[in-house]
Every structure is written in structure tokens, then in C-alpha cells.
């Protein structure tokens, strides 16, 4: 009993040192980070501005043969097949567009811009595939929606194009090439369709948060494109918003990490600490007496919580809840930001067939 004031004083001194240590350890980093963000915001205003390029005209049909590579009857039949039949057997949307010649700029930039502008695929699942064929350059570009990148990775897409389109196009048999390609694509995506059909619907906050996190790469790419197209003022505003969200997210992540460390070390603190051993019924009864409890929290429990770092654990749980809710709200906000339908990240392959 006599050494309790000394123990309390030592505990307070230890807490004060920990607080000063935290400020000394993180204060310089926070100041440097704030300075860097301010400089980044100022520099963003002077980066070259990229003008917004007009979107290519939308296709008239699901098999839009602008280059006249196939017969009108074949194009009409395949358009009906892609629009009516294929979405029934596959959880995917497939569009075929042929062009007489390639655009003046880069082919990949043109096709990605077109696929995103046309919004092929379902909202949130991004299950679109767009095949571009440029007749004069004998070039093929396959754009794969974000949601199908796992089911149709670049290496598989390359093998599919090289096994179906390239040999038939080189022989001038365009209709046979399209038939083989669409048949092979249907076989490859059938497994994806079956898996999607068996998968239960994502209900609940955690499932929604996981889905939002899966969309983070494409949202980042969309944000970067928006940043490049904005003027100086817009870039500064976007940078400041990004800094605020990044700072809040980093603060929450650090809280979760601190709580996790405290939780992992709790068994060791229980085994080596003294606060739990000093608990007794008479002292707790006196500390929880109404008159004493109103004046201050029970000192025994305060010491125990401090020794076990229960405050860090509780703060970590609170930060984790804040992260989950924040990501959910961010997902609701980006539904409008990233568009109403399927999005493309630029995944896909480019190939060329030899002349006859």
C-alpha cells in the first residue's frame, strides 16, 4: 500500500515518456509529409495539361464491320448472336469492331478509350470483351474488362488470338477466323460463367468492402486520367483531397497496427505484469463504491488496462471499423466516378497477321 503512489508516479512518468517519444518519433515525419504534399500540390499546377480526346463513335451493332471484311449477312447473324445468345450462356458481353485503318495515335490508347467510352459489360463486374480489327495495318487488338482479367489473362488471350484469328486472317478467311475466335472465347469464359452462377450474392458490409478494394486499381487509373485532364486548379484540389484521404487512411492503418501489436503482446504482459496480481476483492469493492467511482475511474482497473495496453487494442478496433466504413463510403462515391457500366484497365493483347 505504501508504494502505490510511487508506482502511480512511475506509471505516469512512463506514459509521459511514451507520449513524448511518440511525438518526437512521428512529429518530424508528419511535418515532412505535409511539406511534401504542399510541394506536390504546387508542382501539379505546372504539369503539362492533356486535352480531353473525343470518344470514338459508338458501334451500330455488336458485330460492327466498318472495314467490310465479311458479308453483310454474316455480320448481321453474328451481331444477333453476340447480343442475344452469348449473354445467356456467358456472364460476359462481347463486341467485335473492324476498322478500315488504325488511328493516328497509339492503337492501345485508342481501343482502351473506345472500350471505356462504350461501357461494354456490367456495372461493377466489368465483364466486357472488345475485339478490334484494323484492316489496312493487319492489326488485332483485344481489350479485356477488369473483371475478366483473371479468367482471360494476357497469355491466354495471346494464345487464343494466335490460334484462331492469325492463321485464318493470313489466308483471307475472315469469317472462319471470327468463328474460331468466338467459339474459343466462349469455351474459355464458360468456366467463369459457371463460377459466377454458383457464387452467392455478396450481401453485407464486409463483402461490399472487399468488392470495393478489388476495384481499387481501376479507380486509381481513372483518377490518374482525371488528374491528367484537369487544369492547374483542378489538380491542386485533387491533390489536396488525395492528401486528406491518404492521411486519414494512414492514421487509421497505424492505429490498427498498434492495436494488433498490443494484442499479440498481451499474453506476455499478463504473464509478467503485476497489476493483475494486485487485484483483490476488498480494494475493488472500495474503488467501485458509488462515491469513489463518481470521483475517478477505479485505479486498479486503470493500471491493469495500462499494463495490458487495452487502450491501444480498443483504438485499433475503432480504427479498423473506421477503415471498413470509410472504404464502403468511398465505394458508394466512386460508383458515379468510375462510370455506370463496364470499365477496362488496358489489359489485353495486340497482334498482327502477315500479308497473303
The confidence score (pLDDT) of residue 218 equals 58
Q: Quote the number of domains for the chain.
A: 2
Across the 356 residues of the chain, what is the mean pLDDT of every consecutive 10-residue run? 47 44 53 59 54 69 95 94 81 90 86 86 77 96 85 90 96 96 89 54 52 61 68 74 78 87 86 76 76 77 82 87 72 46 75 91
**Do 159 and 272 reside in the same domain of the chain?**
no
**Do 95 and 191 reside in the same domain of the chain?**
yes
**Is residue 92 one of the residues assigned to a domain?**
yes
Tell me the residue range of the domain where 261 lies: 16-44+233-337
The confidence score (pLDDT) of residue 290 equals 78
The confidence score (pLDDT) of residue 9 equals 47
**Do 176 and 248 reside in the same domain of the chain?**
no
**Do 183 and 246 reside in the same domain of the chain?**
no
**Do 69 and 188 reside in the same domain of the chain?**
yes
**Is residue 29 one of the residues assigned to a domain?**
yes
**Is residue 221 one of the residues assigned to a domain?**
no
Q: Residue 45 to residues 48, 231, 267, 348, 353: CA-CA distances in angstroms?
A: 9, 7, 52, 33, 44
**Do 253 and 194 reside in the same domain of the chain?**
no
**Do 35 and 74 reside in the same domain of the chain?**
no
Query: How would you label 320-338 residue by residue, b for 16+ Cβ within 10 Å and e otherwise?
Result: bebbeebbbebbeebeeeb
The confidence score (pLDDT) of residue 129 equals 92
**Is residue 2 one of the residues assigned to a domain?**
no
**Do 71 and 28 reside in the same domain of the chain?**
no
**Do 40 and 133 reside in the same domain of the chain?**
no
The confidence score (pLDDT) of residue 330 equals 61
d(CA 143, CA 252): 37
Amino acid at each position: 500500500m505504501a508504494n502505490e503512489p510511487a508506482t502511480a508516479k512511475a506509471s505516469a512518468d512512463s506514459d509521459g515518456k511514451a507520449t513524448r517519444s511518440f511525438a518526437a518519433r512521428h512529429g518530424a515525419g508528419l511535418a515532412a509529409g505535409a511539406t511534401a504534399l504542399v510541394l506536390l500540390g504546387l508542382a501539379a499546377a505546372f504539369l503539362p495539361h492533356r486535352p480531353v480526346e473525343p470518344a470514338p463513335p459508338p458501334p451500330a451493332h455488336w458485330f460492327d464491320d466498318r472495314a467490310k471484311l465479311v458479308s453483310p449477312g454474316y455480320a448481321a447473324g453474328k451481331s444477333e448472336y453476340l447480343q442475344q445468345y452469348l449473354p445467356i450462356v456467358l456472364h460476359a458481353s462481347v463486341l467485335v469492331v473492324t476498322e478500315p485503318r488504325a488511328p493516328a495515335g497509339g492503337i492501345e490508347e485508342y481501343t482502351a478509350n473506345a472500350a471505356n467510352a462504350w461501357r461494354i459489360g456490367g456495372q461493377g463486374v466489368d465483364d466486357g470483351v472488345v475485339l478490334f480489327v484494323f484492316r489496312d495495318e493487319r492489326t488485332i487488338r483485344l481489350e479485356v474488362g477488369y473483371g475478366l482479367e483473371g479468367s482471360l489473362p494476357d497469355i491466354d488471350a495471346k494464345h487464343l488470338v494466335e490460334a484462331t484469328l492469325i492463321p485464318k486472317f493470313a489466308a483471307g478467311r475472315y469469317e472462319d477466323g471470327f468463328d474460331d475466335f468466338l467459339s474459343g472465347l466462349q469455351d474459355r469464359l464458360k468456366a467463369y460463367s459457371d463460377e459466377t452462377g454458383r457464387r452467392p450474392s455478396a450481401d453485407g458490409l464486409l463483402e461490399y468492402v472487399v468488392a470495393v478494394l478489388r476495384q481499387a486499381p481501376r479507380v486509381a487509373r481513372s483518377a490518374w486520367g482525371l488528374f491528367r485532364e484537369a487544369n492547374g486548379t483542378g489538380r491542386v484540389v485533387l491533390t489536396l483531397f488525395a492528401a486528406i484521404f491518404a492521411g486519414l487512411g494512414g492514421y487509421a492503418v497505424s492505429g490498427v497496427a498498434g492495436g494488433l501489436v498490443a494484442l499479440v503482446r498481451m499474453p506476455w504482459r499478463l504473464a509478467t505484469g503485476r497489476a493483475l496480481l494486485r487485484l483483490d476483492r476488498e480494494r475493488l469493492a472500495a474503488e467501485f463504491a458509488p462515491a469513489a467511482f463518481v470521483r475517478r475511474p477505479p485505479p486498479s482497473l486503470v493500471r491493469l488496462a495500462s499494463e495490458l495496453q487495452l487502450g491501444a487494442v480498443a483504438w485499433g478496433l475503432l480504427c479498423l471499423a473506421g477503415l471498413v466504413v470509410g472504404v464502403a463510403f468511398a465505394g458508394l462515391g466512386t460508383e458515379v466516378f468510375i462510370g455506370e457500366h463496364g470499365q477496362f484497365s488496358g489489359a489485353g493483347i495486340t497482334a498482327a497477321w502477315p500479308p497473303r
